[in-house]
Structure formats: C-alpha cells, structure tokens
Amino acid sequence: MQQLFNGNIDIYYGQFYIDDIDAEADSDSLDSDVVDDDSLLDVDSAFAQQLNGLCGACHLGRLFFIAEPQEGVAHVAVELHTEEPPLLEHSDDVVECSFAARSNSLHLCEWANEATYPLSLPLGDYICRYSICATDSEYKDDETWRQPLAGQHFIIQFWPGKLAQDRIVVANSQKGHYWHKTLGVTPEH
C-alpha cells in the first residue's frame, strides 16, 4: 500500500474533491462564453445516474466527495493498493466507483480549491472505494470545528480495475442514507 495523502483538510458545504487542477486553471482562463459546462465540477452532474450519493464519479478524471458535517475539519487518507484491500472495520458507509486517472496533476482539493494537495496517482483505470467512519458524528457545543471529530475518518482507496456500475457496499448511517436518496438513483428491480 502506498499512502498518497494522510492529513486534515477543511470541509465547507460538506464537500471535497479529487481534481486535475491544471485543467481547471486552463478553463478558468478562458472566456466564460466558451467554457463548456462539462468543465464545471458540480454536484448534480457528478452524481448523474449513480446509485450512491457519497462519491460522484461522472466527470472523467474527477471525483466529488460528500462529507459530514457540512463545515469543519476532516481527517482524510488516500491510498493506492495493488489489489482490492479488505473492507475497513467500523466503517459506517462504503461506496465504490470507477475512476480513470488521465492526468499527472491530480490533487485532493478543498472546496473552491482553497487548498490543494498533490496526489501521485499513476495514470490508469481504478476502482475507488470511499469509506467513512462515524458518518453521523456532529460537533458538540463545546467542541471547536477546527479539529476533526473524534473517531471520524474519510478513507479513499484506489486499486487497478473497472466497475460496470458504482455500488453501495455498506450503508449504516442516517446521513449516508440521506445522501444516497438525495443524489443517487434508485435501482430498478
């Protein structure tokens, strides 16, 4: 296992991303009349036709992550594995999707790219697993939101492969169920 990132990031509006910041910088410098809507990483299109509502993978080479609480500091780990790792114990929510790394300038990004952290993810096709421990945790009145919540972790794991459809592996939190219902699509039976 190779650790690509392990640290704290600020969360605003309950979201963070993996994005190609060089491509975004190129699109920001263009005249707004010619910028394609596909260059924008927005919540609706990131989750279009997905089952899960926690990791949006509908933009090629980009991932949109939902986090709780909506504002605070999150401890995030990003890992690269050579094969599928075992599920992490105590995960409240686990989802998986396909991810195509097509850029050498991928970064873990806070909201609005206020801070970005480079990821050395080799080019290729991957399965991405997003696991959350203590999803339903909230800051108490006497806690500062400038520290991660005790026991809460966000773990992103990549390994070579491809999925036909994203999937919900574990769904044990109220907030996870809310986001799956709000952003995901219900599978037809």
Digitized pLDDT (tens) for each residue of the chain, 189 residues in all: 999 999 999 999 999 999 998 755 444 333 333 333 445 578 889 999 899 999 999 999 999 999 999 999 999 999 999 999 999 989 999 999 999 999 999 999 999 889 999 999 999 999 999 999 999 999 988 777 889 999 999 999 999 999 999 999 999 999 999 999 999 886 553
71 and 136 Cβ atoms separated by less than 8 Å: no
Strand boundaries in the chain, DSSP class E = 2-11, 15-20, 55-56, 63-66, 72-80, 93-101, 106-109, 116-118, 124-133, 153-160, 167-171
CATH number at residue 9: 2.60.34.30
Residue 109, Cβ density class (10 Å: 0-12 exposed, 13-18 middle, ≥19 buried): buried
Q: What is the pLDDT of residue 143?
A: 73
Count CB neighbours of 170 within 10 A: 15
- 188 inside domain: no
Domain of residue 54: give its range. Answer: 2-29+38-183
Beta bridge mates, 132: 93, 154
- 162 inside domain: yes
Q: Which of 107, 74, 77 is nearest to 8 (CA)?
A: 74
pLDDT tens digits, residue range 94-133?
A: 999 999 999 999 999 999 889 999 999 999 999 999 999 9
- 124 inside domain: yes
- 189 inside domain: no
- 135 inside domain: yes
- 111 inside domain: yes
| Tally of structural domains, the chain | 1
- 85 inside domain: yes
- 67 inside domain: yes
Residue 28 CA from chain centroid, whole number: 22
How far, in Å, CA of 63 to CA of 122, rounded?
Answer: 16
Q: What is the pLDDT of residue 179?
A: 96
